[in-house]
Amino acid sequence: MEKNRIHIFDTTLRDGEQVPGCKLNTKDKVKIAKKLEYLGVDVIEAGFPISSPGDYQSVQKICKSVSNTIICALSRAVEKDIEIAGLALKYAKFPRIHTGIGTSYYHIRYKFNSTPEKIIERAIYAVKHAKKYVEDVEFYAEDAGRTENEFLAKICENVIKYGATVINVPDTTGYCLPEEYGYKIRFLKENVKGIHKIILSTHCHNDLGLATANSLAGITNGAKQVECTINGIGERAGNTSLEEIVMIIKQKPHLNLFTKINTKLISSASHLVSKCTGMKVQFNKAIVGINAFSHSSGIHQDGIIKKRETYESINPKDIGIDQSSIILTARSGRAALDYRYKKLGFFLKKNFLDLVYSIFIKYADENKEITDMELKAILEKANLNS
Ligand code: KIV
Ligand code: ZN
């Protein structure tokens, strides 16, 4: 059973927080970390401690406040970074250092002005150094999406030899197609000595809108951990969104995979992250957008009122929303109007409903979304006209 479990690594507080305009204070970070713990994530990437004293303090505070989840801190393959990450994690019950280096041609040639051999040496050194602080060391091969698979396999084999427990394969620039990313994971599974001893992890960015599809391709080809953020926030177009990948796994039993996430807390986690970061969730965002469970056209509303499943494949209760919303607009029909009046306690006879509907539809043509107050006013007008 456990072999089918997908570990959820949440990086809202690290990669998510790297978004322009998003700044979280320590108090908010601890609040979000506790929510993530209740949500049931396996790993919380709490921050990048070398980056600022505030981030160091946040990681330390989260370690003291969260006890059921692995707490992870990011570091480059730089001695000082690793040392500071190790110190920040001192109070964590389950600490993990996440260290790594760029492995693609662009990174080796232009970022480091180095050679593939020297990059392997730095990767080994980073893992060996991190092992002095913690047992659990995750290695990231930055820009793995654009790294040649043979070289990626070589670097993975080396870091496993020196004790890496997890290997992260980031599609840093959101470059891969699902079949390319899935093939990369399968290639590593089939060609890296010792790969069965470690957890392979996906970390996908959304530059082409493929982050979730790529993560899915990763786990169906053997990756066992998904790195993601609440509401998909993250650098540029964002990261794989936690709610999407978790709900895909839940909705598709034939994948034969599961997570430990309590999906009923998804909606409230989304609200909390949006409130603390000040980043509004796009209206039509899958799973957590305000429109994800709202219906406004007459045909859909009629179907939903008869049987929810006609126009919904996901039960809103599964993510912690009581029920779908029936929004009244000029596209709505009598069934939706009757439904909303019943919710307000008014049970209208058919002929009277016809009269109310004729007033409603004229009014709705001039206005956007009809509120309960407006419905009551329409009813009063119909009463006067009847
Ligand atoms: O996208 C990326 O490559 C990263 C790494 C630092 C893990 O966020
Ligand atoms: Zn990233």
Q: Which atom of ligand 1 is nearest to the CA of 239?
A: 1
- CB of 12 within 6 A of ligand 1: the answer is no
For ligand 1, atom 2, name the residue with the nearest CA. 172
pLDDT of residue 3: 84
Q: Work out the percent of the chain whose per-residue pLDDT is above 70.
A: 100
Q: Over the range 80-108, which residues count as b (16 or more CB within 10 Å of their CB) and which as e? A: ebbbbbbebbeebebbbbbbbbbbbeebb
Ligand having the closest approach to the CA of 144: 1
Mean pLDDT of 112-128: 98
Distance 126 CA to ligand 1 centre (A): 16
- Quote the mean pLDDT of the chain: 97
DSSP state of 93: S
Distance 14 CA to ligand 1 centre (A): 10
Distance 142 CA to ligand 1 centre (A): 6
pLDDT single digits (tens) 341-350: 999 999 999 9
pLDDT of residue 2: 79
pLDDT single digits (tens) 74-98: 999 999 999 999 999 999 999 999 9
Answer positive or negative: Cα dihedral of 206, 212, 216, 222.
positive
- CB of 11 within 6 A of ligand 1: the answer is no
- CB of 35 within 6 A of ligand 1: the answer is no
Distance in angstroms (rounded) separating the CA atoms of residues 280 and 267? 14
pLDDT of residue 182: 98
- Pairing relationship of beta strands 43-47 and 166-171 according to DSSP bridges: unpaired
pLDDT of residue 144: 98
pLDDT of residue 84: 98
Q: Is residue 242 over pLDDT 70?
A: yes
Distance 205 CA to ligand 1 centre (A): 9
Q: Is residue 1 over pLDDT 70?
A: no
Distance in angstroms (rounded) separating the CA atoms of residues 213 and 182? 10
For ligand 1, atom 6, name the residue with the nearest CA. 142
Copy the structure tokens of residue 367: 């206005």
pLDDT single digits (tens) 41-82: 999 999 999 999 999 999 999 999 999 999 999 999 999 999
Number of alpha helices (DSSP H) and beta strands (DSSP E) in the chain: 14, 10
Distance in angstroms (rounded) separating the CA atoms of residues 150 and 163? 20
For ligand 1, atom 5, name the residue with the nearest CA. 142
Amino acid at 302: D
- CB of 181 within 6 A of ligand 1: the answer is no
- Alpha helix locations (H) across 136-210? 149-161, 178-191
Ligand having the closest approach to the CA of 235: 2
